[in-house]
């Protein structure tokens, strides 16, 4: 949430070092405007992306996760992004079963020259998640243990 | 010297863990020899008051099986924690939530509707459902509140050791009991057992894995010597702790994942997911999707034993409508 009460999503980005992270740099050095919703984390390759990273981001309060890497066929480790495609498909099906909207976790490609693409992707995803509203995952399991209530009450 | 005191309890569980203890056969006599059993409701007549009357820390070891899904389970978890020096989460339910934990794919209301109204075998013309409180001439009857979200033991009270398995193999129980008796315990918070995967113990031959579809167990008769996953049968052995001796794959059934994740893993399902994704023989999203169409209920496969213990713990509350925490509690009162 921003100060004035309007919802501004937090998107965690996992960007591969060789293409998409450079696309982000290019967007920055070319002073392209895009929403300040992305918290980017550099990974060496989308092949390094363990689904655990995505789940942990959502669990810790992210409203969405954006994974970006080199275009298929252009991965600097040759096969990393194909691995990402397979994992992502399985992760997406799993998240659907958890009741998490498809737009919240996305996989895109941007080469080091595609600063514009990068900025557009972030802007579009920000729009989509703003429309969905906050995820606030931990609200799904409020504390039901009466003992802990009692302990908390005793502390107050 | 007096014998150390042992307590065994079952919370939300099937009773299989109790059978597993009895499955020690004559070794059970060694347990009875080494310990003074002070609480074991499944086998001997004890009352909760007997435990309440004990000093704090009076019990040396408590083997606690079962997940926590209602107020009574939680009450006993807190009580036994207070009375016990060493608390062991015994079996997959106490460790990761296991079968009861699959309830976290639903809301309590959804489950109750299905069980008491909609399931094909339900005959309930008067729509009778259990009430938490019922007034009777003799006084008020109270059932423990049934939670919306199943928890693991460690999500409710601090746990010293974990003994995985659904149920734990006799050899795993022996290892644990021996460690406790000899006092040669690993650092608190550890899982008692080796940190290897089921594949390490599985004698099936492994080659490069590339599969173009999944098969359900009833669809093929697998080759007896080759890795099951290579034959398209779902097997969680690639990302599951062993200690079981790879018993399931040896009889042609893919590992279900009951011993849970290996050391340092945050989310068992995510690791199985990664392993399974890496064997798909596909490069484009379309090819991948076509293969995955042959794997129904992936989340059920990945989180079969560790749903409450996973990073997300449960599915989103119904209809995407999010209630405030306080409203949720109120709504969950029957
Ligand atoms: S290096 Fe960019 S996706 Fe592999």
Task: State the average pLDDT over residues B101-122.
Answer: 90
Q: Which of A100, A137, A146 is facing B71, going by the closest CB pair?
A: A146
Residues 99-158, chain B, touching A (beta carbon < 8 A)? 105, 145, 147-149, 151, 156
B191 domain residue, yes or no:
no
- pLDDT classification of B334: cutoffs 50, 70, 90: very low
Task: State the average pLDDT over residues B99-117.
Answer: 91
Kindly report the backbone phi and psi dihedral angles of residue B69, in degrees, each rounded to the nearest multiple of 5, phi listed first: -130, -5
ipTM: 0.91
Among A48-52, B31-35, B183-187, B325-329, which range has the highest average pLDDT?
A: A48-52
- pLDDT classification of A154: cutoffs 50, 70, 90: low
CB contact under 8 A, B312 and A55: yes
Looking at the CA of residue A81, tell me the nearest atom of ligand 1.
Answer: 3
pLDDT at A148: 63
Task: State the average pLDDT over residues A82-101.
Answer: 96
B324 domain residue, yes or no:
no
pLDDT at A152: 52
- Cβ of A16 less than 6 Å from ligand 1: yes
Q: What is the DSSP string of A95-156?
A: HHHTT--GGGEEEEE--TT-HHHHHHHHHHHHHHHHHH----GGGGS----HHHHHHHHHH-
Query: Measured between alpha carbons, how far is A89 from A106 in angstroms, rounded to an integer?
Result: 10
CB contact under 8 A, B316 and A100: yes
What is the pTM for the complete model shown? Answer: 0.91
Give yes or no: residues B204 and B244 share one domain: yes
- Average pLDDT of chain A is 92
A2 has pLDDT over 50: yes
Number of domains in chain A: 1
Can you give the length of chain A in residues? 156
Query: Measured between alpha carbons, how far is A69 from A48 in angstroms, rounded to an integer?
Result: 11
Give yes or no: residues B161 and B30 share one domain: yes
A6 domain residue, yes or no:
no
Query: Measured between alpha carbons, how far is B94 from B192 in angstroms, rounded to an integer?
Result: 14
pLDDT at A21: 97
B330 domain residue, yes or no:
no
A24 domain residue, yes or no:
yes
CA A26 / ligand 1 centre spacing (Å)? 17
Q: Which of B145, B273, B300 is facing A91, going by the closest CB pair?
A: B273
Question: Mutate which of A93, A136, A140 to disrupt the B interface (most B C-beta within 10 Å)?
Answer: A140
- pLDDT classification of B22: cutoffs 50, 70, 90: confident
SS3 state at B185: coil
Give yes or no: residues B253 and B219 share one domain: yes
Kindly report the backbone phi and psi dihedral angles of residue B53, in degrees, each rounded to the nearest multiple of 5, phi listed first: -75, -15
Q: Which CA distances in Å does A28 have to A11, A25, A45, A102, A141?
A: 17, 5, 21, 28, 39
- Cβ of A76 less than 6 Å from ligand 1: yes
B283 domain residue, yes or no:
yes
B325 domain residue, yes or no:
no
pLDDT at A151: 55
B222 domain residue, yes or no:
yes
pLDDT at B28: 83
Question: B146-151 and B68-70 as β-strands: parallel, antiparallel, unpaired?
Answer: antiparallel
CA B232 / ligand 1 centre spacing (Å)? 29
pLDDT at B324: 37
B320 contact residues in A (CB cutoff 8 A): 99, 101
Query: Measured between alpha carbons, how far is A119 from B164 in angstroms, rounded to an integer?
Result: 47
Q: Which CA distances in Å does B66 have to B57, B147, B151?
A: 21, 15, 10
CA A40 / ligand 1 centre spacing (Å)? 15
Query: Measured between alpha carbons, how far is B109 from B106 in angstroms, rounded to an integer?
Result: 8
Domain residue limits at B24: 5-99+148-182
Q: Which CA distances in Å does A140 have to B106, B273, B312, B315, B323?
A: 11, 23, 9, 8, 9
pLDDT at A35: 96
Domain residue limits at A133: 11-154
A59 contact residues in B (CB cutoff 8 A): 311-313
pLDDT at B58: 96
Give yes or no: residues B229 and B210 share one domain: yes
Give yes or no: residues B175 and B283 share one domain: no
- Cβ of A18 less than 6 Å from ligand 1: yes
pLDDT at B57: 96
Q: Which of A21, A25, A43, A47 to mutate to test ligand 1, by most ligand atoms within 8 A of the CB atom? A: A47
- pLDDT classification of B325: cutoffs 50, 70, 90: very low
- Give pLDDT tens digits for B181-225: 788 888 999 999 899 999 999 999 999 999 999 999 999 999 999
- Cβ of A81 less than 6 Å from ligand 1: yes
For residue B40, give the CATH number of its domain.
3.40.50.700
Q: What angle do CA B74, B80, B85 make, to 5 degrees?
A: 140
Give yes or no: residues B143 and B153 share one domain: no
CA distance between the termini of chain A: 28
For residue A77, give the CATH number of its domain.
3.40.50
Query: Measured between alpha carbons, how far is B214 from B235 in angstroms, rounded to an integer?
Result: 11
Number of domains in chain B: 3
Task: State the average pLDDT over residues B68-97.
Answer: 96
Give yes or no: residues B64 and B205 share one domain: no
Burial class, B28, CB count within 10 angstroms (exposed 0-12 / middle 13-18 / buried 19+): middle
pLDDT at A110: 97
- Average pLDDT of chain B is 91
Query: Measured between alpha carbons, how far is A50 from A63 in angstroms, rounded to an integer?
Result: 18
Task: State the average pLDDT over residues A87-104.
Answer: 96
- Cβ of A75 less than 6 Å from ligand 1: yes
pLDDT at B30: 81
Question: Which has the closest alpha carbon to B44: B16, B83, B70, B9?
Answer: B9
Half-sphere exposure of B214 (CA within 13 A, CB side): 22
B107 has pLDDT over 60: yes
Task: State the average pLDDT over residues B93-113.
Answer: 92
B266 domain residue, yes or no:
yes
- pLDDT classification of A142: cutoffs 50, 70, 90: confident
């Amino acid at each position: 949430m921003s100060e004035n009460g309007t919802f501004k999503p937090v998107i965690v980005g996992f960007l591969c070092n060789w293409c998409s992270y450079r696309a982000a740099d290019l967007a920055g050095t070319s002073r392209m405007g895009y929403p300040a919703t992305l918290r980017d984390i550099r990974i060496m390759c989308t092949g390094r992306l363990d689904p655990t990273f995505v789940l942990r981001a959502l669990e810790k309060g992210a409203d969405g996760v954006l994974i970006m890497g080199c275009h298929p066929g252009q991965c600097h480790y040759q096969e990393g992004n194909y691995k990402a495609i397979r994992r992502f498909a399985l992760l997406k099906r799993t998240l659907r079963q958890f009741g998490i909207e498809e737009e919240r976790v996305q996989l895109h490609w941007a080469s080091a020259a595609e600063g514009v693409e990068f900025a557009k992707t972030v802007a579009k995803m920000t729009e989509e998640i703003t429309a969905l509203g906050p995820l606030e995952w931990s609200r799904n399991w409020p504390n039901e243990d009466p003992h802990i209530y009692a302990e908390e009450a005793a502390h107050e | 010297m007096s014998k150390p005191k042992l307590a065994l309890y079952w919370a939300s569980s099937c009773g299989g863990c109790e059978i597993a203890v009895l499955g020690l056969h004559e070794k059970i006599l060694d347990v009875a020899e080494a310990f003074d059993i002070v609480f074991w409701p499944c086998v001997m007549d004890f009352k909760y008051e007997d435990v309440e009357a004990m000093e704090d820390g009076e019990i040396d070891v408590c083997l606690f099986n079962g997940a926590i899904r209602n107020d009574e389970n939680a009450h006993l978890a807190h009580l036994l924690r207070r009375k016990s020096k060493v608390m062991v989460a015994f079996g997959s339910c106490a460790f990761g939530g296991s079968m009861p934990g699959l309830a976290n794919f639903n809301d309590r209301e959804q489950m109750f509707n299905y069980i008491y109204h909609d399931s094909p075998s339900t005959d309930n013309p008067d729509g009778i459902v259990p009430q938490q409180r019922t007034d009777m001439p003799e006084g008020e009857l109270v059932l423990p509140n049934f939670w919306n979200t199943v928890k693991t033991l460690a999500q409710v009270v601090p746990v010293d050791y974990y003994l995985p398995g659904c149920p734990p193999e006799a050899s795993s129980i022996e290892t644990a009991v021996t460690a406790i008796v000899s006092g040669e315990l690993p650092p608190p918070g550890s899982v008692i057992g080796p940190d290897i995967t089921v594949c390490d113990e599985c004698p099936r031959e492994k080659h490069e894995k590339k599969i173009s579809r999944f098969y359900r167990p009833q669809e093929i008769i697998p080759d007896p010597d080759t890795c099951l996953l290579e034959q398209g049968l779902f097997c969680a052995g690639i990302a599951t702790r062993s200690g079981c001796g790879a018993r399931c794959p040896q009889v042609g059934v893919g590992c279900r994942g009951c011993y849970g994740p290996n050391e340092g893993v945050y989310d068992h399902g995510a690791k199985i997911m990664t392993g399974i994704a890496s064997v798909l023989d596909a490069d484009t999203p379309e090819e991948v999707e076509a293969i995955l169409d042959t794997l129904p209920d992936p989340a059920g496969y990945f989180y079969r034993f560790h749903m409450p213990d996973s990073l997300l713990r449960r599915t989103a509350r119904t209809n995407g409508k999010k209630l405030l925490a306080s409203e949720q509690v109120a709504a969950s009162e029957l």
